[in-house]
Structure 1
């Protein structure tokens, strides 16, 4: 809850818990479970399914590769005791933001405003929840955009 280091601390403390809950929920739209759900829903459209699957594989591979060689602590430090936990504990770049931006671009022709707003909210939620700083989120967004562009060439 409001700890003196969040954008919404200017609001009364009674709203801090509401924003904490709301941004924890919003951040799920950039998570693996939501992305997996979108993959399942796209099974009826093989072309879309393959684009989404390739996009996910490329984003995860790039993030794991970067985090393997460049470790940056999250704003709220996360402990780790093995390689996989270390990858998860690293903050650069934001994979949630990359997935949200990638999905927003894939689905933007039909739902541009909704998916764009969701991508921005996911990106901000990562900062609000102290999982990332703005550089992590910026590069996550660029990664999502870059992967969208590359997958479009395939």
Structure 2
């Protein structure tokens, strides 16, 4: 039984990693290397904006994770906070951005399914409550729609 539990935990962790910084920034770098600097900059700007939105929310409306973490400083407190899920925020922002770029129904379904798996994994791994991933998902979509307005002002 232990093998099945460990196997399942590994799969959930792999799903969760799809919303992580490494995957996100690797995709942005891929766009840059392929010559699409505008899309790469959009992704990097969205990545930064997700933190600019989530950090004050996490500090101002601190909510413990399902499995509480100890913290000794501001950065650890930020990481120990559960609301909103930054993984969900990044995954949805990335999914909507890629869907908008490729404009293909099949790929759109795939990207949204992968974002959904990230959200599911965060709850199943007891990193977040359902409300955390729902809020992160809404914020991720909002970043996609607000970013062109913000970039137009700069």
Distance in 2, matches of 1:150 and 1:54, equals 11
Distance in 2, matches of 1:18 and 1:35, equals 24
Match of 1:121 in 2: 117
Match of 1:90 in 2: 81
Match of 1:22 in 2: 11
Match of 2:45 in 1: 54
Shift of 1:17: 2.2
Shift of 1:104: 0.5
Match of 2:139 in 1: 143
Query: What SS does the aligned partner of 2:83 have?
Result: coil
1:40 to 12, 22, 29: 29
Distance in 2, matches of 1:74 and 1:139, equals 14
1:27-67 CA-partner distances (Å, limit 9, x unpaired): 00101111111121111211101111111111111111111
Pairwise CA RMSD:
1.4
Structure 1 segments unaligned to the other structure (5+ residues): 1-11
TM-score by length of 1: 0.88
TM-score by length of 2: 0.88
2:123 pairs with 1:132: no
Distance in 2, matches of 1:80 and 1:102, equals 28
Structure 2 segments unaligned to the other structure (5+ residues): none
